[in-house]
Structure 1
Amino acid sequence: MTLRMHMLRNTWAGPFNASIEAAQCLCVTGASGSGKSVLLRMLADMDPAEGELSLAGIDRRAMSASTWRQRVMLVPAQAGWWATTVQEHFAEATMTNARPLADRLRLPSDIFERQVLRLSSGERQRLALIRALVTRPTALLLDEPTASLDQDSVAAVESLLAEELARGLILVLVTHDAAQAARMGQQTLHIAGGKAVAA
């Protein structure tokens, strides 16, 4: 299983080239505004893009947008929340898996019963990650998933992601933390001014 991009580009960023195998993490680094999030949105088929993009040898254009996004799932830096309580954002069938993940990520035992408006930014980040993981995507695109977390919570997230990688997840991780990139990534893509450059 491989997520492959070749000459992936749009008006704002690119071209980008990479092949990420199952159980591998590509870390994307660069200054704020350099084009990291644009790359993730192109990979998720949420921004227009030219070039080649495929998963397991199947071209992005051969799948519907919804099917591609279920398999190549983006968790943005600020995920959307549309209902009052946390639990309303989870299908009932996923709760059996969601609750143990919440415990792993150091979230309160009653977190799913809480109102979204009362959550901290770090709680929202971890819940958005859980919301993605319980759907079992093939590839996961994470935009600074630990930016609002304390050191212990960062370690918990990285430990969980390492387990998911061991199960065969493809991970693309945007981070400003060079140490995190070194810990998590088998590959690194550094972006400056919308272009891939040597780190």
Structure 2
Amino acid sequence: MSVLPITLRDACVRRGGHVILGPVSLTLAGRGLTVLMGPNGAGKTTLLKVLHGIVRLSAGTVSHDGDDARGAQAFVFQTPIVLRRSVAANLAYPLKLQRRSRAERAERIRDWAARIRLEDHLDQPAGRLSGGERQKLAIARAMIRDPELVFLDEPTSNLDGRSTREIEDLLKAARDAGTRIVMSTHDIAQGRRLADDAWLLVNGQIRETAPAPQFFDQPAQPETRAYLRGDILE
């Protein structure tokens, strides 16, 4: 059963008496790659975690279509999290949880290691990889079990151009293969390169959602136009 659609109704998250997200009402459905944009502190990470189901709402509701909501999706954090194991063991871990056969695990590990250009590092401890390599490994570990939906929080922040390009290629290939992707980014040029549609979040609230051509070239909201110009939003 599909995990989509995911629907938020008047979703709010409060911390220390302050509203950091909401109220937000939206439905995540369909196919493609959604880019979530907005200034620092807008609540982008919190919104991704709410949609993924790892942050509890203070008010409102979040509903998933499927019964196995968590198993059908994955989350990649801004700072890549790798297990204190080899590259191969990192890739094998989610497949073991799915009880994939040893032969299938070996085949998928070889395939994904080649995709992220780490086929010569399978026995290397993951902690010794560069920042870009660790992020590629984290993304491959999320994708290797063929999730329906993947959330990524600023997956290329602080990476060099080559690592950014390689990660973007991974995401485009996954999107084209049918994986639904929602990612946050501050990079407007990256948003233009990747997005099928885009959302703007300001002060914890969605200000605009639109197909990418409209969002970037003919935004309906003045806040979107200001953000795309590089103005400071308060």
Which bin holds the TM-score, normalised by the shorter protein? Answer: 0.7 to 0.9
- Unmatched tracts of structure 1, length 5 or more: none
Please give the residue correspondences for 1:84-99 in structure 2 after superposition, counting only pairs within 5 Å: 84-91=85-92, 93-99=104-110
Kept in 2: contact 1:35–1:191 (CA 8 A)? yes
Kept in 2: contact 1:20–1:170 (CA 8 A)? no
Q: CA RMSD in A?
A: 2.2
Kept in 2: contact 1:20–1:26 (CA 8 A)? no
C-alpha displacement of 1:51: 3.3
2:51 is matched with which residue? 43
Tell me the SS of whatever aligns to 1:15.
Answer: strand
Provide Cα deviations, 1:113-136, integer angstroms capped at 9, x if missing partner: 111221111111110000010111
- Unmatched tracts of structure 2, length 5 or more: 15-19, 93-101, 209-223, 225-234
C-alpha displacement of 1:170: 1.0
State the number of aligned residues. Answer: 190
How many percent of aligned residue pairs carry the same amino acid?
27
For CA contacts below 8 A with separation 6 or more, give which structure has more relative contact order: 1
C-alpha displacement of 1:184: 1.5
C-alpha displacement of 1:95: 4.1
Matched, 1:10 2:13: yes
Q: TM-score, normalised by structure 1?
A: 0.82
Kept in 2: contact 1:24–1:169 (CA 8 A)? yes
Q: Highest CA radius of gyration, 1 or 2?
A: 2
Matched, 1:102 2:113: yes
The match for 1:153 among 160, 163, 180 is: 163
C-alpha displacement of 1:28: 0.7
C-alpha displacement of 1:138: 0.8
The one-letter amino acid paired with 2:54 is M
C-alpha displacement of 1:47: 0.7
Kept in 2: contact 1:73–1:137 (CA 8 A)? yes
Kept in 1: contact 2:82–2:127 (CA 8 A)? no
Tell me the SS of whatever aligns to 2:5.
Answer: strand
What is the distance in 2 between the residues matched to 1:46 and 1:157? 24
Tell me the SS of whatever aligns to 2:53.
Answer: coil
The one-letter amino acid paired with 1:68 is A
Kept in 2: contact 1:79–1:125 (CA 8 A)? yes
Provide Cα deviations, 1:95-114, integer angstroms capped at 9, x if missing partner: 42233333333x34322211
C-alpha displacement of 1:30: 1.6
The match for 1:31 among 29, 32, 39 is: 39
Question: Judging changes above 3 Å, is the alpha-carbon distance between structure 1 residues 176 and 99 closer, same or farther for their aligned structure 2 residues?
Answer: farther
Kept in 2: contact 1:87–1:112 (CA 8 A)? yes
Question: Judging changes above 3 Å, is the alpha-carbon distance between structure 1 residues 162 and 112 closer, same or farther for their aligned structure 2 residues?
Answer: same
Q: TM-score, normalised by structure 2?
A: 0.71
Kept in 1: contact 2:148–2:180 (CA 8 A)? yes
The one-letter amino acid paired with 1:30 is G
What is the distance in 1 between the residues matched to 2:75 and 2:118? 25
What is the distance in 2 between the residues matched to 1:125 and 1:195? 29
Provide Cα deviations, 1:50-95, integer angstroms capped at 9, x if missing partner: 434344x34xxxx3xxx32221211111233332322222325434
The one-letter amino acid paired with 2:188 is A
Tell me the SS of whatever aligns to 2:7.
Answer: strand
What is the distance in 1 between the residues matched to 2:205 and 2:161? 31
